[in-house]
Amino acid sequence: MTTMAIVTDGAAKRRATRRSGRDILFTALGVAFLAIMLFPVYWMFNASLQPSGNTLTASLLPLNPSFAGYEKAFADQGPNLVTSLVISVGTVVFSLAIAAPAAYALAQFRYRWINVALLAVLIAQMIPGVVIANALYAAYNDLGMLNSIPGLILADATHAIPFSIMILRAFMMSVPPSIIEAARVDGAGHVRAFWSIVLPVAKNSLITAGLFAFLFSWSDFLFALTLTTTDDITPVTLGIYQYLGTQVANWSAVMATAVLSSIPAIVLLVIAQRYIAAGATGGAVK
């Protein structure tokens, strides 16, 4: 028995050693891949701190940082950042106002046309953006909505609404029907039950859908390029594109603008990451 115990203990130690070695190897590989993926982000920040004209020959570390690029970026692209922020917030509000009731109806009502509606939502999600942009350009030209913030909000919402419906429906299908039935027994209609019962319970999925709608709109370039023909309305993505032609000798300003445009998305992701995890998996287990 003693010999058997020694052999068993030795085998367990060897297995633990092998597991520890694999864990170290996988951790090292993960760190290496993460460093490779994040290096362009770091280089963007490093280049934004280089003196004007030295960006392409910059050192690995910003040993002599200069904030002249940020000063120029704020002066030239500040209004564009505000424009993108207004468009993105408007897209979030409009998308959730449409997607939340639609998701509730698709999750709670039992009609024959529900499957057809779900198929239509999936098809809308798969339509290429360039097709939508061309169609909207023709419609906006007739309606006088080119070069307008409401027009860009509506265009960005065409991508955000189908995605938000799928996220919200997955969660709302896991809401216990007994809660809604109890509210109906107490005299609440579908609208009151939706507003007072379902929406508070679906907070995590609402935040998740809203965040993705914001990111869709904030990073949009296709609609901004297609649906604006003047400089009256210029989102920051289009501002950076136009900036490249005039600032080829001052890449620090271009990179500073890119850094500034990345900050809102990074801040929102850091703040809302726990809501994103809960909202994305909320409908997975009923």
For 20-80, give the DSSP string. Answer: HHHHHHHHHHHHHHHHHHHHHHHHHHHHHTSPTT-GGG--SS-SS---HHHHHHHHHHHHH
pLDDT band at 286 (very low <50, low <70, confident <90, very high): very low
Calculate mean pLDDT across residues 121-144: 88
Burial of 181 (0-12, 13-18, 19+ CB in 10 A): exposed
Report the pLDDT value the prediction gives residue 97, as an integer from 0 to 100.
Answer: 93
- Is pLDDT above 50 for 284? no
- Is pLDDT above 80 for 225? yes
pLDDT band at 13 (very low <50, low <70, confident <90, very high): low
Q: What does DSSP assign to residue 148? A: -
More confident residue, 63 or 280: 63
Report the pLDDT value the prediction gives residue 1, as an integer from 0 to 100.
Answer: 46
- Is pLDDT above 70 for 52? no
SS3 (DSSP) at 221: coil
Contact between 44 and 259 under an 8 Å Cβ cutoff? The reply is yes
Structure tokens at 200: 């508070």
Secondary structure of the chain: what % helix, strand, coil (to 5)? 80, 0, 20
User: What is the percent of the chain where pLDDT is above 90?
Assistant: 22
54 alpha carbon, distance to own chain's centre: 33
- Is pLDDT above 80 for 180? no
pLDDT band at 285 (very low <50, low <70, confident <90, very high): very low
Report the pLDDT value the prediction gives residue 151, as an integer from 0 to 100.
Answer: 93
Calculate mean pLDDT across residues 220-241: 89
Distance CA 215, CA 268 (A): 9
**Each residue's pLDDT tens digit, 141-152:** 999 899 999 999
What does the mean pLDDT of the chain come to? Answer: 81
Least confident of 133-137, 270-274, 278-282: 278-282
The CA–CA distances, whole Å, from 154 to 6, 161, 237 equal: 71, 10, 17
- Is pLDDT above 80 for 181? no
